[in-house]
Amino acid sequence: MDSIAVHGLPSCLSDARRLAARLAVPIREIDLHRFPDDELRVTTKPAARTTIIYATLDRPNDKLVSILLACDAFRRDGAERIVLVAPYLCYMRQDAAFHAGEAISQAVIGRLLSTVADRVVTVNAHLHRTTDIGMVFPRIDADNLTALPAIAEFLLQSSLDPDIVVVGPDQESGPWVADLADRLKRNYAVGTKHRHSDQSVAIDFAKPAMFAGRPVLLLDDIVSSGGTLIACAGALREGGARSIDAVITHALFEAKLTDKFLKAGIHSIRSTNSISHPTNAVLLDAVIANALRAEVAHAALGRNS
Ligand code: R5P
């Protein structure tokens, strides 16, 4: 039995392959078969003592079932430690019951994954009222890595206008925006967001005049319906922004929304590869591999804790 290996879901196999190559460990594909009634059959290759599953969790429901089934197969095949690498972690936004009768999805998914994995590694998980990833996974190891150094390095390699203002759409984005602006040595501003529904959002800024004639770099963790970025671009245009570009971590939106973004005055959107998407520009390979180096070292020594 191998001491350690990466097993990837088919939908993210190329990212899993690069991770395994960086760590110099074997890569194996998890095979999925969909039955006519939409049930899934999961077939795994031989488990390693430390089995790393690479499965980013956008469009998550089938993937969650695949992970549960794969973990059962790995455990029965002798896996002692299972590490789930999910660069995008689903269901994190519903961290409270906002209306009567709603479930707290974040807690449910945290409990579910804790029953099968020993460690979860993710990137820029959407933690708002939950301040720490350990609160989502109280009984297992968990790491919420930051994409900001990789994003900053990427931006600093391009010709960045000295006058550019880094902008976040809402108070939640404040810490990331301040961090990125600090890394880029640029000014920043944060808006106030009023969400009326999934698609309907309004954003305002305390001092919109500060954008007059200046280029703006919008930063957000997730783009899903696109409503937040579009509303933010509207407020920035009203403030007289010269140009608007965006950089985001998780591109959940459908690629066909690009035209809507262009019409809203957003010239470009660049994302990390946490989710495979045409806007991918910033690779998270190094940040994820670095978080797993200790697993490789421990596995080589035959230690799994
Ligand atoms: C919200 O709190 C997040 O940080 C994002 O701003 C939000 O998820 C974006 O969603 P949408 O693209 O649907 O407006």
Q: Give, using CA atoms, the residue closest to atom 7 of ligand 1.
A: 222
When pLDDT is averaged across residues 228-242 and rounded to a whole number, the result is: 96
Contact 201 CB / ligand 1 (< 6 Å)? yes
What is the rounded CA–CA span in Å between residue 258 and residue 237? 18
Q: Give, using CA atoms, the residue closest to atom 13 of ligand 1.
A: 225
Per-residue exposure over 142-157, b if at least 16 CB sit within 10 Å of its own CB, e if not: bbbbebbebbbebbee
| 199 C-alpha to ligand 1 centroid (Å) | 10
- Per-residue pLDDT tens over the stretch 184-201: 999 999 999 998 887 788
| 201 C-alpha to ligand 1 centroid (Å) | 9
- Per-residue pLDDT tens over the stretch 69-99: 999 999 999 999 999 999 999 999 999 999 9
Contact 169 CB / ligand 1 (< 6 Å)? yes
Contact 221 CB / ligand 1 (< 6 Å)? yes
Q: pTM higher than 0.75 for the full model? A: yes
| 242 C-alpha to ligand 1 centroid (Å) | 24
